[in-house]
Chains A and B, each alone.
Chain A
Amino acid sequence: MDDLVIARSLFGTTMGFHIIFATLGVGIPLMILCAELLYQKTKDKDYAIMANRWTKGQAVLLGVAIPTGTIAGVQLSLLWPGFMEVIGKVMSLPFQIEIYAFFIEALFMSIYVYAADRISPKMRILSVSLVLFGATASAVLITNVHAFEGTPTGFRIHNGEIVDVDPWAAFFNPSFLVSAGHVAVSAFTTGAFMISSIAAFKMLKNRSQDRVYKFHRKALILGLTVGGIFSLLTALNGHESAQMLHEYQPEKLAAAEGLFDTQDYAPLAIGGFTDKETQEIKYGIEIPWALSFLAGNSFDTTVIGLNDFPEEYWPPLFVHTLFNGMVLIGSFLIFLAMVGFVWNKILKRPHFPKPLMWAFVISGPLAILSIEFGWIFACTGRQPWVIYRILKTEDVVTGSTQIGLLFILFSIVYVILAVAVSLVLRYYFKRHPVEKELDYSSSESSMKI
């Protein structure tokens, strides 16, 4: 393998690992805030216990989110020095502002975790809101750099020199709001469904214990409600993302849909695999006209196919499968939340049927999978460009060799961290079962984290 491929694999692995914890770092604080607010409103101790336990879990996840993020940030300069040279000159604002967001998050996370018993409920809610704000802002800002890579603005390259730099124009590049919005709402979706997963799993295991079952049922309903709202927003906004691609990166959309010939009334292909030889989607289902409608809100929108681009500009064609995976999971999550709502609010049944419960259990991992699909699609679909139509990935990669060794070492570290974090979480929650806290709360009034 050449160094470029290894560098890509290494960076992709780092990001793919970081994103799991980073997404939860955005999504779970929202759930904590919801639980804190519900506690203040209903005075139901269960919500305070939820906030407390989720915070503990989040604090452990931070132990991986932060170092892997640090790796990601430094690795950008180590692996893609040519890219960061351009970013430094043109697009460093989001990175810089992100630092302030990190500070806000770090300061108030520590305050929320280690000083919870010394500050007032109002201060607690303010702290957790600021944690949420900091985490969301950092996600939005880092995504902005990614958005800039797809729709670069605010500079020109003249004789190899970067000229006419307008950092704010680069900051407010055309896809910023759409992309950043998508990342934020999909992170909220993921956090909420992750909570639902755990709650549903615990309900399946604790059918007999009424008190514990009720506790988890509350968490499940909260998770499904928040998840339902945000998965709907994710899909709506995803639709806009696709239209943004139609306008700014047509070959990416064509690859996502496996469309080779430019046409109006273009069909939407769902599922299947793109076959380069026969130029068609194998084993997929075609919905006539739907792609044209998706891309431009009318059936006669002309969608450009891959054949209108030189083949060297084609993104890898497997992104079609990733894109479909993301959309399919997104639709499934909306469906799940709706079924849950109907069952609980309209039919008013106290128990969910077992298959539905198992569907809830897998919803969180599926949401994470969707995040992975979305990102790999977005980054790999940009190939061969690192900055669309301006800078090629192969021109920015480090000249140093020895990347293979690093790929192995970093992979080992990620495996160690993944195993350790799972064991530690398991250990902690086994040691501190919710039953104990539920018993406590009836006798003791103050709580400690």
Chain B
Amino acid sequence: MTADSLLAITVLWGFVFIYAVMATMDFGAGFWSMIYINKEKTNATNIANRYLSPTWEVTNVFIVAIVIALVSFFPGATFILGTVLLLPGSFILILLALRSGFLVFSHVAKDYEKSLTYVSGISGFIIPGLLMLVLPITHGGYIEVVNGVHQLQFEKLFTSPNIYAFIGFAITSTLFLSSLLLADYSNVADELDAYKVYRRDALTLGPISLIMAFLIMITLRTEANWLYSNMMNYLPFLIGSVITFFIAGTALVIPSGRHKGRIGRPRLAVIAVTIQYLLASYAYGRAHLPYMIYPDVTIQSGFTHPNTFRALFITYIIGFLILFPGFIYFWRLFMKDKRYLKQSEN
């Protein structure tokens, strides 16, 4: 592992993390706006839509950014991943296309809002599960070389308990994180009914997602032992992650500091959960190194040409400097401006 390839994988990991948070929020919000569409008076659907409308496009850029970062930093890994992911990748793309399209359509064609929302809500619910599949595929054991071509072994894939643990985790933590974030969002907007609904959902789903995480670890032990034992070297991070989870839970049940009579401090819970996921994914990511795809590709063997890396890295710095003010402005307009948060639909 050279410093350059380590830097590159860190950037990639950063993108994956940001996307994971934004996408859970995005897909989860789509799901909740579907679930609560018939409960008009709680405003839960409106809250979800108000978050979703301006952000889905920005979120989508992140998934493109991940693919581009992978291709440009690790073209060697792209070759194998591109080959084996043809089918699952294509299904994700198809669902993503339907979901983005129908999400936009449902906001425009108000008379058909309900049925259109179902299309976007359901597809958005399946996507995280499929996206998560990419992780266990890189753990090894599911790729075989047949006639000189890397091929995904679907039978092995769909009989592995580890795969189902990952899918279950993806779905439950999508719903958990998004309900938590929406609880915070509706709290800021003083939408008390919506807040209650989302707080309750977060409290129910949190423990389930934690159980799923444990299931992943248990099945990982037999399915990809190299990764499991590496992760055990980062046990303090994993323990820290469980602790922050409980901090988040506590934050949701203690009385609010700012508003009398309201229960829970969702902002604190959001921060704690973010740290929880950061710690856990750091332990996972570190344990995964140096392999990108076990045991075929390491971050060194898949690495791009050093000249290209240097040029890319310069554009990263410049791009960040240019974009940062834009993100701040965006955040202020849609996450903090009470005029936006409190407006009623239409």
Chain A residues near B (Cβ < 8 Å): 56, 59-60, 62-64, 66-71, 73-75, 77-79, 81-82, 84-90, 92-93, 95-100, 102-104, 106-111, 113-115, 118-119, 162, 165-168, 398-400, 402-403, 406, 409-410, 413, 416-417, 420-421, 423-424, 427-428
Contact = CB atoms under 8 A, between A and B. Distances in A.
Contacts of B3: none
A95 B72 contact: yes
B322 A63 contact: no
Given A63-B101, A398-B86, A399-B150, A99 B68 contact: yes
A426 to B, nearest CB: 10
Contact of A167 (B58, B73, B83, B308): B308
B61 A102 contact: yes
B311 A93 contact: yes
A100 B319 contact: yes
A77 B78 CA distance: 7
Nearest to B60: A66
B86 A107 contact: no
A67 B96 contact: yes
A33 B216 CA distance: 52
Given A96-B315, A424-B105, A110 B82 contact: no
A110 B330 contact: yes
Contacts of A403: 86
B100 A63 contact: yes
A410 B94 contact: yes
Nearest to A416: B98
A81 B60 contact: no
Contacts of B334: 110, 114-115
Contacts of A421: 101, 105
Nearest to A115: B333
21 contacts: A59-B104, A60-B104, A63-B105, A73-B64, A88-B71, A88-B75, A89-B75, A92-B71, A96-B316, A97-B315, A99-B64, A107-B326, A110-B58, A110-B330, A398-B82, A399-B148, A399-B151, A400-B86, A402-B87, A417-B97, A417-B98
Nearest to A10: B90
Contact of A66 (B57, B307, B312, B326): B57
B141 interface: no
Contacts of A399: 83, 147-151
B287 interface: no
A99 to B, nearest CB: 5
B109 interface: yes
A52 to B, nearest CB: 14
A95 B68 contact: yes
By DSSP majority rule, is chain B's interface helix, strand, loop, or mixed?
helix
A78 B89 contact: yes
Contacts of A90: 305, 308
Nearest to B319: A100
A402 B37 CA distance: 39
Q: Among the interface residues B104, B111, B308, B340, which one has the most CB atoms of the partner chain A within 10 A?
A: B308
B100 A108 contact: no
A400 B149 contact: yes
Interface string B177-210: 0000000000000000000000000000000000
Interface range on chain B: under 10, 10 to 19, 20 to 34, or 35 or more? 35 or more
B296 interface: no
Given A85-B76, A103-B61, A110-B57, A92 B97 contact: no
A111 B82 contact: no
Contacts of A86: 75
The 10 closest A-B pairs by CB, nearest first: A88-B75, A63-B104, A92-B72, A399-B149, A81-B82, A67-B97, A110-B54, A100-B319, A77-B82, A106-B57
B130 interface: no
Contacts of B99: 67
Contacts of B61: 99, 102-103, 106
Contacts of B27: none
B160 interface: no
A264 to B, nearest CB: 43
Given A67-B101, A77-B67, A89-B305, A400 B109 contact: no
A438 to B, nearest CB: 21
Nearest to A127: B329
A119 B54 CA distance: 15
B31 interface: no
B260 interface: no
Interface string B140-181: 000000011111000000000000000000000000000000
A77 B71 contact: yes
B79 A420 contact: no
Nearest to A98: B68
A89 B311 CA distance: 11
Given A92-B71, A96-B68, A100-B322, A409 B90 contact: yes
Nearest to B87: A402
A107 to B, nearest CB: 5
Contact of A62 (B75, B104, B339): B104
A99 B319 contact: yes
Contact of B98 (A84, A93, A108, A413): A413
B105 A60 contact: yes
A62 to B, nearest CB: 7
Contacts of B311: 93, 167-168
B333 A111 contact: yes
Nearest to B98: A413
B344 to A, nearest CB: 13
B325 to A, nearest CB: 10
A89 B329 CA distance: 35
Contacts of A109: 57
A100 B109 contact: no
Contacts of A84: 71, 75, 78-79, 82
B308 A106 contact: no
Contacts of B316: 96
